[in-house]
Structure 1
Amino acid sequence: MTTQLTSAQWIRETPARWDADKTRVLGGLDPALFGFGSPTDGDALGDEWWRVEDGGRVLGYGRLDDTWGDAEILVLVEPERRGSGVGAFILDHLEQEAAERHLNYIYNVVPHGHPDPEPVTTWLTAHGFAPNDVGELRKRVPGADPR
């Protein structure tokens, strides 16, 4: 499915809270798979969150958890919009957020038990991530100091 994001907006959620849109975007995946436990509507979420809206509909979320100069990221796209460029939109914006914080790397760990680990790993690799020996897929933040 290739659909243009005609009026996509990148909106910071402060404070981030669990809600029905996050449940919908997960598309039936267990929130515990991503370390969220069993949240209910209104529960506070850690880290930094943004949502992508297009035409007033939430299409996906990006999460950034920075520590020690790197950041773990999470890209969530509603099932109906996977393959439409929403994930790339989120990833581009997460990279910009990481660059503004002068971070070195962004990384993702595809959790054990994920129903589609190969397509997720392939997608991240196609976007410049490389696996390391501790199970992370890492990418240098554009503009990061190569030291």
Structure 2
Amino acid sequence: MTEWTWTAEPTPQWDAAKADAFSPGGPGLHGLGAPAVGDALGDAWWRVCDADGSVAAFGRLDDTWGDAEVLVAVVPAFRGRGVGSWAMNRLAEEAAARSLNYVYNVVPENHPDREGVQAWLAAQGFDARDTGELRRRVRVTDRAVTPSS
């Protein structure tokens, strides 16, 4: 099994690795506009790297009013290896640490693999709503367990 690291980006910026992870649809497909390399990004972002330090994915959390929109973007070379599921579980832990109620995602209608992403989210515990939103209840068990000293 691959060992992943989850690192918060203190001042998230658009970079080449993010552009790769958001291909082929690009950031605009996900409501991020058309950032240039070095442009500041809002919200909370994390970088997922493999044991060699290669960037494998990104997680984004935008919390508002007790819930959070979440997004996972996986670099094409790492797709199908479980890093997306791993990152989604880390986002759930981040939401639990913030005492949020739900994480949610809306897959854009023009997403090139809309049905596949919706099915993947369903496999991650997300339930479809009539609004097109997919929601997952944040559970206390999502909190990362810290060993006692």
- The answer to whether TM tops 0.5 is yes
Aligned match of 2:15? 19
SS of the residue aligned with 2:36?
coil
Cα distance, 1:93 vs. partner? 0.4
Cα distance, 1:80 vs. partner? 2.1
Cα distance, 1:27 vs. partner? 2.4
Structure 2's unaligned 5+ residue stretches are: 142-149
SS of the residue aligned with 1:139?
strand
Q: 1:63 aligns with which of 47, 60, 65?
A: 60
Letter in 2 for 1:35: G
1:123 and 2:105 are equivalent in the alignment: no
Distance 1:30 1:58 in 2: 17
Letter in 1 for 2:63: D
Distance 1:17 1:11 in 2: 14
Distance 1:51 1:91 in 2: 12
Cα distance, 1:112 vs. partner? 1.9
Cα distance, 1:28 vs. partner? 2.5
Aligned match of 1:40? 36
1:75 and 2:69 are equivalent in the alignment: no
Q: 1:102 aligns with which of 99, 104, 111?
A: 99
Cα distance, 1:70 vs. partner? 0.3
Cα distance, 1:24 vs. partner? 1.1
Distance 2:67 2:6 in 1: 21
Q: Is the 8 A contact 2:17 2:75 kept in 1?
A: no
**What's the Cα RMSD here?**
1.1
Report the TM-score, using the length of structure 1 for normalisation. Answer: 0.92
SS of the residue aligned with 2:94?
helix
Distance 2:24 2:80 in 1: 18
Letter in 2 for 1:49: W
Instruction: Report the identity percentage.
Output: 53
Report the TM-score, using the length of structure 2 for normalisation. Answer: 0.90
Distance 1:120 1:36 in 2: 18
Count of residue pairs the alignment pairs up: 140
Distance 1:42 1:25 in 2: 16
Structure 1's unaligned 5+ residue stretches are: none
Letter in 1 for 2:118: T
Provide, for residues 25-53 of structure 1, a one-character-per-residue CA deviation record: whole Å limited to 9, x for no partner.
Answer: 12232211011111101000000000101
Distance 1:81 1:53 in 2: 10
